[in-house]
Structure 1
Amino acid sequence: MPCATPAAGWCVDEATRRAAIEAYDLDSLRDGAALRQITDFAAALCGTPVALVSLVEEHEQVFLARTGLTLTETPREMSFCQHAMLQPDIMVVPDATQDPRFIDNALVTGDLHLRFYAGAPLVSDDGVPLGSLCVIDTIPRRGLTALQRQGLRVLADNVMARLRDSRDAAAWRATERATRRQLTDSEDRFRTLADTMPQMVWSTLPDGYHDYYNARWYEFTGTPPGSTDGEGWNDVFHPDDQARAWAVWRQSLASGDPYQIEYRLRHFDGTYRWVLGRALPIRDAAGQVTRWFGTCTDIHEQKLALHERELISQELSHRIKNIFAVISGLISFAARSKPGFAPIAADLRERITALGRAHDFVRPHSPQSRPNAQQDSLHGLLGELFEPYRRDDAPPIRITGDEIAIDDRSATPLALLFHELATNATKYGALATDAGTVEVSIRRGADTAELCWTERGGPEVTPPTGADGFGSQLIELSAVRQLGGSIRRDWQPEGLVMTVTVPLAAFRRD
């Protein structure tokens, strides 16, 4: 087969495609966690049962990662992705049974029952189409939203970043092996090898003195040959990265450990681009370092893609936070027009505020907005929820015991549960007096965790009579129905003791 399937009036030589695919270390990526996270996210983002990273080879399409599908490959003639990889943008097939290209396709007529398909092309840096990141559904759909399209493009960029990493790692390993062999040959042979590499290659003496750079370094930086020998290389680092890069390099020189760091290098056009710096020591028979060989790999586009993905996550979280504010405002507006609704409105606003605090704690953050506490920490979440109850810088609610990792799914019911307990304690229990205190103790077992709420120093407590109020029902909803736990109340005269037993699996997704 000399050419890839025509799609836009052009054709790609299959030998070129085969060589491009073989340059990647596919075995290191196949069924790996990194690409599986991307397909999991793509399926969740687009609301489809199946997502795939598909590479179209000469006779079959191979799935490097898959979500919702057990097949690892299919014949190329059945491939939708061989069409998608040749498109300038995402290819969408709303209903394959209505598309002449696929109406008789075995994936459509067979057990897979494929109906909807959307694929973002995976194209190498040299413009060679490799395959696609696709999502599949068994029912027809109109298409993708603008956000889903943007997200699928960002995820496809991340797939290519992973592929480039595998290629660069394979090139690095090949270079290391070749370098060891070339140490016994002439320096001219080594320079020829280094100058053919796509990475910037450099070498230092055992004390870290830089005495060699390949042609790619000078092409990238635009510096005159020899001007970055010794410590001159530090001048092409971004000013904010110089001290950090020096510290990591000195640590490697002192310990002999491999060197790896991301930093920004000044490009010949005056801009700064992110690169990944790596270096390994060459040792003699006695184990002494005789030389360091290193590379710099341009990862700027990968960093931009990751940054764009973070921006999308933060924008979604920001909109959710705004929804909490809008709901709280609507409740306040209703309370002003109906004074009798005011007490209920105040309770609702407090509960919504608690949910907002929980969401703000676990949502994606930038380095500037990230909370001081670790975001998957139950202690940290409770600390945020109880902050409004602080008295004169002294917390009346003390959190003790084991730490448990949480996620965004469990944060909401936990916030409602403990907000309701703190509110009741403020109205009727230990927090209704200045001397009252509460201890929240956490004990982790093999399969469950016990969260014990103990009040002391408040008014004398008597068990309530009559039907459960809304607050008790909310506690039941949060602890039992949402977290799958159980509740045990002990109405001691000196204060309520409530123990909530929750399965560990409810706190965090596996």
Structure 2
Amino acid sequence: MAPGWRIDERARVAAIAEHDIESLRDDAALRRITDFAAALCDVPIGLVSIVETERQTFLSRTGLDVSETPRESSFCAHAMLEDDIMVIPDATQDPRFADNPLVIDGIGIRFYAGVPLVRDDGIPLGSLCVIDTVPREGLTALQRQGLLVLSEDVLRRLDDSRSSAASRAAIGDSEGRFRTLADTMPQMVWSTLPDGFHDYYNARWYEFTGVPAGSTDGEGWAGMFHPEDQERAWAVWQHSLDTGEPYQIEYRLRRYDGQYRWTLGRALPIYDENGAIVRWFGTCTDIHEGKLAREEREVVAQELSHRIKNIFAVISGLIGFSARSHPGFADVADDLRARVIALGRAHDFVRPHSATSRPAADQTSLQGLLAELFEPYQSRTAPRITVSGDDVAIDDRSATPLALLFHELATNATKYGALYHDAGTVRVHSRRVGDRIVIDWHERGGPTVAQPTKTGFGSQLIELSAVRQLAGTVVQRWDSAGLEVEITLPETSLSRG
């Protein structure tokens, strides 16, 4: 029916009265439909709504506590008059619904998709709809097809509600359609009871595994995993069952020909109105080729990074060799070699690693990088440089200027400042101030320091690293108790994330 089409409201109300609405509230067959509709569209709410004179009644509801709302706030009252599925990507941007109480308060509807429920005699009853509280672009072709198939099952259930015998037939037919829909999906689909007992697999599962139907029900599924993955998969699955958190894991699944292929397993819980899990719906997706390609790229990246690390060692060696040939340049060579070594340590910290070579600290951690850089300056008995405060994410782009900056400060402290004496200490403290990171460098226990009368290369290097490369500022205070430096950096300059 075209939008704007006017229905005979009295005939529509009479048609609704022909159905036993109360007996269909929380109907098991309808509940399976809304559970699957929500899982199919990856949304938290699925409803079968009947639009009455002054209210809309939810015969089945997944992910929603209320059983009815006033008709004037009903989205389904609009959807039931459409010729096709009514899709609203963002209700706040739709003038028809922007001021709707279910958008502003209540449910907080953003995305809505409703299939008209229209009887064979042309009278609209309501809608089968799915709802999300965040905007979405729309529905995939498979989701549209699935909702249309499920809406036919809803109508059949409504029509057959006038006869108990016909009702029993409708339940069987609804389950058959559910299985038909699941069997046409390209992924392996499965479901479990709340305790994790597997009671359903679609045809794709049996095609992939080649096992007899029913042989992987219950706990039999775990035997299909690679022996090295079984314990880990059990642990992740048990955690999801205990907490209700979504299930996601990569494991090797045995195919019908005996080959173990990498598979992505996912599952989401379906809740009732009391917040209890009533089912788990899950999928298995073959990711074998993609997984191998990622591993190959990782090996190449590790090899390339390892060669870069060797280049730093070669450059350091060449500087030392040149210094021995020109003794007059020994001091300059030592400074240059130290800076190259600092860059090498920074690169080694953020580079791709294998499981055995990976640093103990998080490779995206500012404090982890500083601890790595300061290691050569620490005492065996007590830490001389302490790092505290808010940790911040870094990446390979910011690691190099950070290494140069703090290596220069630590070197100067060793030559002229707090680290010149054994009892001297340096405290490095980082803190967030809005969208900027402030790093304080405080030296104590060293000789009395005074502001230099001229700017040396070290000061220029600090300026280059903090200001030009990281878009920050550096303020130095030459206190008699020790040098204090305040470095302020935009957080966006430290990490692409």
Class of the TM-score when normalised by the shorter of the 2 chains: 0.5 to 0.7
Post-superposition Cα deviations, 1:57-102, rounded to whole Å, max 9, x if no partner, equal: xxxxxxxxxxxxxxxxxxxxxxxxxxxxxxxxxxxxxxxxxxxxxx
Alignment partner of 1:474 out of 461, 467, 476: 461
Name 1:76's counterpart in structure 2.
none
Q: 1:58-137 alignment to 2 at 5 Å?
A: none
Post-superposition Cα deviations, 1:412-462, rounded to whole Å, max 9, x if no partner, equal: 122111111111211222112111111122243235443322211112324
1:222 aligns with 2:213: no
Does the aligned pair in 1 maintain the 2:229–2:251 contact within 8 Å? Answer: yes
Name 2:384's counterpart in structure 1.
396
Residue 434 of structure 2 aligns to a residue in which SS?
Answer: coil
Name 1:66's counterpart in structure 2.
none
Q: Distance in 1 between matches of 2:149 and 2:412?
A: 71
Name 2:105's counterpart in structure 1.
none
Name 1:10's counterpart in structure 2.
none
1:377 aligns with 2:373: no
Post-superposition Cα deviations, 1:100-120, rounded to whole Å, max 9, x if no partner, equal: xxxxxxxxxxxxxxxxxxxxx
Name 2:220's counterpart in structure 1.
232
Alignment partner of 1:464 out of 435, 452, 458: 452
Q: Which letter maps to 2:301? A: S
Counting aligned pairs with the same residue, the percent is 67
Q: Which letter maps to 1:234? A: A
Q: Distance in 1 between matches of 2:264 and 2:360?
A: 29
Q: Distance in 1 between matches of 2:316 and 2:301?
A: 23
CA change 1:504–1:229 in 2 (3 A) is closer
Name 1:349's counterpart in structure 2.
337
Name 1:116's counterpart in structure 2.
none
Name 2:313's counterpart in structure 1.
325
Residue 452 of structure 2 aligns to a residue in which SS?
Answer: coil
Q: Distance in 2 between matches of 1:209 and 1:226?
A: 12
Shift of 1:290: 5.0
1:508 aligns with 2:490: no
Shift of 1:349: 1.1
TM-score by length of 1: 0.59
Q: Distance in 2 between matches of 1:442 and 1:256?
A: 37
Q: 1:399-438 alignment to 2 at 5 Å?
A: 399-438=387-426
Q: Distance in 2 between matches of 1:497 and 1:216?
A: 66
Residue 184 of structure 1 aligns to a residue in which SS?
Answer: helix
Alignment partner of 1:200 out of 151, 163, 188: 188
Does the aligned pair in 1 maintain the 2:449–2:479 contact within 8 Å? Answer: yes
CA change 1:212–1:234 in 2 (3 A) is same
Q: 1:180-195 alignment to 2 at 5 Å?
A: 181=153, 184-186=171-173, 189-195=177-183
Shift of 1:282: 5.5
Q: Distance in 2 between matches of 1:345 and 1:252?
A: 58
- Structure 1 unmatched runs, 5+: 1-26, 29-165
Residue 185 of structure 1 aligns to a residue in which SS?
Answer: helix
Name 2:482's counterpart in structure 1.
495
Shift of 1:337: 2.3
Q: 1:18-37 alignment to 2 at 5 Å?
A: none
Q: 1:169-188 alignment to 2 at 5 Å?
A: 171=142, 181=153, 184-186=171-173
Name 2:375's counterpart in structure 1.
387
Q: Distance in 2 between matches of 1:257 and 1:484?
A: 41
Shift of 1:397: 0.7
Count of aligned residue pairs for this structure pair:
345
Q: Distance in 1 between matches of 2:320 and 2:376?
A: 20
- Structure 2 unmatched runs, 5+: 1-40, 43-136, 155-169
Name 1:90's counterpart in structure 2.
none
Shift of 1:353: 0.7
Shift of 1:319: 3.1
Q: Which letter maps to 1:216? A: R
CA change 1:439–1:276 in 2 (3 A) is same
Residue 230 of structure 1 aligns to a residue in which SS?
Answer: coil
Q: Which letter maps to 1:390? A: Q
CA change 1:179–1:273 in 2 (3 A) is farther
TM-score by length of 2: 0.61
Greater alpha carbon shift after TM alignment, 419-428 vs 436-445: 436-445
Shift of 1:401: 2.8
Q: Distance in 1 between matches of 2:144 and 2:229?
A: 27
Q: Which letter maps to 1:357? A: R
CA change 1:257–1:501 in 2 (3 A) is closer
Q: Which letter maps to 1:506? A: S
Q: Which letter maps to 1:201? A: V
Shift of 1:470: 2.5
Q: Distance in 1 between matches of 2:367 and 2:229?
A: 34
Q: Which letter maps to 1:374? A: D
Name 1:153's counterpart in structure 2.
none
Residue 172 of structure 2 aligns to a residue in which SS?
Answer: coil
Greater alpha carbon shift after TM alignment, 398-407 vs 249-258: 249-258
Q: Which letter maps to 2:462? A: I
Name 2:111's counterpart in structure 1.
none
CA RMSD of aligned residues (A): 3.4
Name 1:338's counterpart in structure 2.
326
Post-superposition Cα deviations, 1:334-363, rounded to whole Å, max 9, x if no partner, equal: 123223333222211110010111122222
Q: 1:238-253 alignment to 2 at 5 Å?
A: 238-253=226-241
Does the aligned pair in 1 maintain the 2:149–2:177 contact within 8 Å? Answer: no
Q: Distance in 2 between matches of 1:488 and 1:288?
A: 57
